[in-house]
Chain A
Amino acid sequence: MIRRRFPWLSYLVVVTGAVLTVVPFLDMVMTSFKGAGEAGTLPYHFLPKAFDLSNYRAAIDQLDLPVLFRNSVVATAVITGSVLFTSSLAGYALAKLRFPGRNLIFRLVLSTMMFPPFLFFIPHFLILVHWPLAGGNDLFGRGGAGLTVSIAALAMPFLVNGFGIFLMRQFMVSIPDEVLEAARIDGAGEFAVWWRIVVPQTRPVLLTLGLLTFVQAWNEYIWALLISTANPDVMTLPVGIQFLQDYVDPTRTMPIVMAGLVLSILPVLILFLLLQKYYIRGVMLSGLK
């Protein structure tokens, strides 16, 4: 019980740290209510003079927020759906089916996790530029802008995730073979076995992987920035808000930028607060972020 001898000191440290963590978020919210000439001027005031919602209206209008929101939702949904589907199917094959080349493919999946994402920005972009028969390209990928101008480009490099396959496989290994065998005896094909037995049994892991992928995809910035430069119509929320911050007078727009940020953070924040048990387990499992 020696660990509990100095509770007041522990409280002091933890509360101070928590305040330091939360204050920037509060500053963001407070600034989002500040009027023109109130933000970024001396002396600094934490609280706004009035809680005015006009910045939120301005964010929705100036930022074209509904369009940004739609693009973010589409890209995030496609990525999350695809990662869950491919990870579960591939994980099942690697965990429960026997076939030549299984170890080799499993090793390939493991090795994909060794390659850092920055290595792929250039070749992925150039591959999409030269995608055959898309965006004005001929069969050999020449002549047009390829897939870089399509909204699909936002999602394409993230559709399959080596870590996701690894995670699903590790959990599926522990499903008893007898259960799968019983279903096969009842005449179920492998796809039915996967869909009716394996998927329901791995629902918590799917939720964890889905949350991790959702948050990552929703917050993705660098790749989305690249694709949005090629085609501004597919701008996502982070890119659009940063665009406003970069190219319009920063002192005047800062409260509007903050309002946009508050709105863009909300969906992830709500999801995280509701399902944090699953998310935190995911971070523990990946040990990465």
Chain B
Amino acid sequence: MVNALTPTTTERAAPSTRSSSPAVDGRARSRRRQAVVAYLFLAPTLLFFAVFLILPLGFALLLSMSRWAGFDLGGIQPVGTDNFAGLFADGSTFLAPILTNTLLFALGTVVLALAGSVVVATCIDNLRFQGLWRTLYFLPIVTTVVAVGNVWKYMYEPGGLVNGVLNALGLGSMAFLQDPDTALPSVVVVQAWASVGSAVLILTAGLKSIPESYYEAAALDGAGPLTVFWKITLPLLRPSLLLVCITQFISGLQSFALITVMTKGGPGDATNVAALEMYRQAFSYGRWGPASAAAFVLFVVVLVVTLAQLWIFRRKEEDA
């Protein structure tokens, strides 16, 4: 360490009679003091992680393998893997439609948001006032899910904006959120609408890193704009596209606030997703065990995607 080598630090340390070298002794002392200070600085963080990270993880794991109702800690009964088996048993709604809905919701969001943001980001890149456009596209992201959900829910109603537009075009009204067939796609559209802004942001940064000389070379060769987009822009944008894909997919797998606001999982289980099912089992029915088991199953799904992301990006770095 630099500080231990400076003369002043050594001078400040009290001279030791036992040590043969006062410099070495001072260095050790300063290092000890720094360790004490470091742990003092980290104390709130470590305390928090102990109480709100490690303890809850252990507790949740215990609950996922227990039968327990109510709040009396003495009533927790270990049941092994029964809760997990129950989730995948015949007649359970967890695998289908709930987990299937979760995947469809995440996948649909990614596809829509990605398609929208690629087109928008490519076009913004051609324009002036890029900051202004980005700001507009960003509005949904800083807005609470309660606002986004309620506004869209209201717009989907028979007297709302969407049906108003359909009627103006001479089309019939649709019961977007009440019809089991259209409910899930309808909330997917809202989730995608709300996440286009951040995807545009990441993609615009990716576009900026493509050297202008590639485009100039393509222009010299007489390539058309579509060829340029397919042969230059898209391939060179791949890392950003991948980042958008995976982060949106992960957040799609676990988000349920929007669904809670818009449909509460209904009609029936048409828009029920795994995280919402966990929440309801726990806080509506007090079935902590099955709820925690559902949480861990979803966690494994998210973890697999996260690890795939790490693996893909690490391989990318090695290739580079």
A interface vs B, CB < 8 Å?
Answer: 1-7, 9-11, 13-14, 17-18, 20-25, 27-28, 31, 39-46, 85-86, 89-90, 92-94, 97-100, 102, 105, 108-109, 112, 114-127, 129-130, 141-142, 156-157, 159-160, 165, 177-178, 180-181, 184-185, 189-191, 194, 215, 218-219, 221-222, 225-226, 229, 237-239, 241-242, 245, 254, 257-258, 261, 264-265, 268-269, 272-273, 276, 279-280, 283-284, 287-289
Residues of B within 8 A of A229 (CB): 283
* B142 is an interface residue with CB less than 8 A from chain A: yes
| Contact across chains for B52 and A156 when beta carbons are under 8 A apart | yes
Stretch at the interface among B13-21, B79-87, B146-154, B174-182: B146-154
- Known contacts A2-B219, A42-B159, A221-B145; A99 and B49 CB within 8 A of each other: no
| Contact across chains for B60 and A13 when beta carbons are under 8 A apart | no
Residues of B within 8 A of A112 (CB): 49, 53
Residues of B within 8 A of A92 (CB): 41
Residues of A within 8 A of B133 (CB): 14, 18
Residues of B within 8 A of A178 (CB): 2
Alpha-carbon separation in the docked complex, A13 to B1 (Å) = 57
| Contact across chains for B279 and A121 when beta carbons are under 8 A apart | yes
* B249 is an interface residue with CB less than 8 A from chain A: no
| Contact across chains for B198 and A122 when beta carbons are under 8 A apart | no
Residues of A within 8 A of B120 (CB): 13-14, 17
Tally of A-B residue pairs with Cβ under 8 A? 303
Residues of B within 8 A of A218 (CB): 144
B interface vs A, CB < 8 Å?
Answer: 1-3, 6, 8-9, 31, 34-35, 37-39, 41-42, 44-46, 48-49, 51-53, 55-57, 59-60, 63, 71-73, 116, 119-120, 122-127, 133-148, 150-152, 154-155, 157-161, 163-164, 167, 193, 195-198, 201-202, 205, 215-216, 218-219, 223, 225, 228, 243, 247, 250-251, 254, 256-257, 260-261, 275, 278-279, 282-283, 288, 291-292, 295-296, 298-299, 302-303, 306
Residue of A nearest to B45 (CB): A90
Residue of B nearest to A24 (CB): B151
| Contact across chains for B144 and A31 when beta carbons are under 8 A apart | no
Residues of A within 8 A of B193 (CB): 20-21, 24
| Contact across chains for B144 and A265 when beta carbons are under 8 A apart | yes
Alpha-carbon separation in the docked complex, A229 to B154 (Å) = 25
| Contact across chains for B144 and A219 when beta carbons are under 8 A apart | yes
- Known contacts A4-B126, A5-B225, A127-B51; A121 and B282 CB within 8 A of each other: yes
Residues of A within 8 A of B215 (CB): 1-3
| Contact across chains for A222 and B126 when beta carbons are under 8 A apart | no
Residues of A within 8 A of B219 (CB): 1-2
Top 8 nearest A-B pairs (CB, nearest first) are: A44-B164, A123-B56, A99-B35, A10-B123, A219-B144, A238-B146, A160-B48, A97-B38
Residues of B within 8 A of A276 (CB): 135, 138
Residue of B nearest to A130 (CB): B73
Residue of A nearest to B162 (CB): A44
The B interface, classified by DSSP as helix, strand, loop or mixed, is: helix
| Contact across chains for A99 and B39 when beta carbons are under 8 A apart | yes
| Contact across chains for B150 and A14 when beta carbons are under 8 A apart | no
Residue of B nearest to A27 (CB): B161
> Smallest Cβ distance from B186 to chain A, in angstroms?
13
Q: A31-B154, A160-B45, A268-B142 are in contact. List 15 more A-B contacts (CB 8 A).
A: A3-B125, A14-B120, A20-B193, A24-B148, A89-B41, A90-B45, A120-B52, A120-B60, A160-B49, A181-B3, A184-B9, A185-B6, A215-B142, A238-B145, A287-B247
Alpha-carbon separation in the docked complex, A9 to B229 (Å) = 14
Alpha-carbon separation in the docked complex, A166 to B9 (Å) = 30
> Smallest Cβ distance from B32 to chain A, in angstroms?
9
| Contact across chains for B288 and A126 when beta carbons are under 8 A apart | yes
> Smallest Cβ distance from A21 to chain B, in angstroms?
6
| Contact across chains for B38 and A27 when beta carbons are under 8 A apart | no
Residue of B nearest to A211 (CB): B142
> Smallest Cβ distance from A22 to chain B, in angstroms?
6
| Contact across chains for B126 and A93 when beta carbons are under 8 A apart | no
> Smallest Cβ distance from A23 to chain B, in angstroms?
7
| Contact across chains for B201 and A283 when beta carbons are under 8 A apart | yes
Alpha-carbon separation in the docked complex, A118 to B255 (Å) = 8
Task: Give me 16 A-to-B residue pairs in the complex whose CB atoms sit less than 8 angstroms apart, sorted by A's number.
Answer: A17-B196, A21-B196, A27-B154, A28-B151, A40-B154, A44-B159, A97-B38, A118-B254, A118-B295, A122-B63, A127-B52, A157-B52, A268-B143, A269-B142, A273-B135, A288-B251
Alpha-carbon separation in the docked complex, A221 to B262 (Å) = 13
Residues of A within 8 A of B275 (CB): 118
Residues of B within 8 A of A180 (CB): 3
| Contact across chains for B73 and A194 when beta carbons are under 8 A apart | no
Residues of B within 8 A of A120 (CB): 52, 56, 60
| Contact across chains for B279 and A222 when beta carbons are under 8 A apart | yes
> Smallest Cβ distance from A159 to chain B, in angstroms?
6
Alpha-carbon separation in the docked complex, A245 to B147 (Å) = 11
Residues of A within 8 A of B161 (CB): 23-24, 27, 44, 46
| Contact across chains for B34 and A2 when beta carbons are under 8 A apart | no
